[in-house]
Amino acid sequence: MDGRQRRELRIFLCTAFLLPLAAACLRSRAEGTAVWWLLFGAEAAAPSLAAVAATAGGGRLRSFLRENFRAGSPLEVLALPVLIALVPMLLAKTGAWLLGFPFTTGRMTAAKAVTVLWALLAEELGWRGYLQPLFRRHMRRPCLAPCAVGLLWGLWHYHYFLFGDMRAPAGWFLLGCVAESYLHSCLLSWSKHNLLSSMVYHAAWNLFIHLLALQPAGPADSALPYGMAVVWEMLLWACCQKRQKRRTSL
């Protein structure tokens, strides 16, 4: 990694991790609804804003965007991401129901709908558009790049936990971020690195976690259904990886 790339990476990490903290602190003191949502949007979009800041500073923003967005089939950029987000959660919800948990569903409020739609733009330009390709190029074992990105991605959510916006079990959540990072990697491989596939997957994941009410709503709720979803995500990634290796060997 040369000096320019190291400088870009420092800009990215500092912006991605510090901007949310500043926005969340201001949000906790915001009085108007419009200001609150503006700060919440900036907080969530920190990874993408960080990628724009890093690449613009290096004079390569236009080429960076061209590398990540290209024509793709609806199957690759829409159907597969939605299916891969839905299947593990549906299996987990069904499994939890068979174990005696009530088959509850969530209510999609206007606020949740805005959050889900914002996920299309907020994060993936940073994590899978900028950071993962950089790690793949420069790590000694490129296969570990999704793991490294997944860990950073999971740790990045610290501000949501700190300010009480997330109630997911932290251990399962971090493991899930790693599993989902590998699923993102599979989708990007199948779509020839069309970032739309990753963006749709992220938004679909956020949608289904709300609709299927898998995330514990309070401290007294069991984390088992959420943990089962993470396990199914890991198994799905193993199946996808096996399929990919089989296709490569043909």
pLDDT in tens, 20-73: 999 999 998 887 888 989 999 999 999 999 999 999 987 889 899 998 987 778
Cβ-Cβ contacts under 8 Å for 99 (sequence gap 6 or more): 224
Position 137 scores a pLDDT of: 92
Position 250 scores a pLDDT of: 47
The residues of the chain scoring below 70 in pLDDT are 219-220, 245-250
CB 50 within 8 A of CB 19: yes
Position 222 scores a pLDDT of: 84
CB 204 within 8 A of CB 85: yes
Q: CA-to-CA distance for 143 and 2, rounded, in angstroms?
A: 21
* Burial of residue 127 (number of CB atoms within 10 Å: 0-12, 13-18, 19+): buried
**Residue 183: both structure tokens together:** 């699923």
Q: CA-to-CA distance for 125 and 51, rounded, in angstroms?
A: 7
Position 159 scores a pLDDT of: 94
SS3 85: helix
**Residue 28: both structure tokens together:** 């906790």
What number of other Cβ atoms are within 10 A of residue 174's Cβ?
17
Nearest CA to 64 among 127, 125, 144? 125
Nearest CA to 168 among 105, 234, 217? 217
**Residue 188: both structure tokens together:** 């990007």
Q: Say what the pTM is.
A: 0.92
The helix or strand, by DSSP H or E, that contains position 178, with its residue range, turns out to be helix 170-190
Position 247 scores a pLDDT of: 59
Q: Which amino acid is at 66?
A: R
Position 248 scores a pLDDT of: 56
Instruction: Show the CA angle centred on residue 195, arms to residues 7 and 64, nearest 5°.
Output: 35
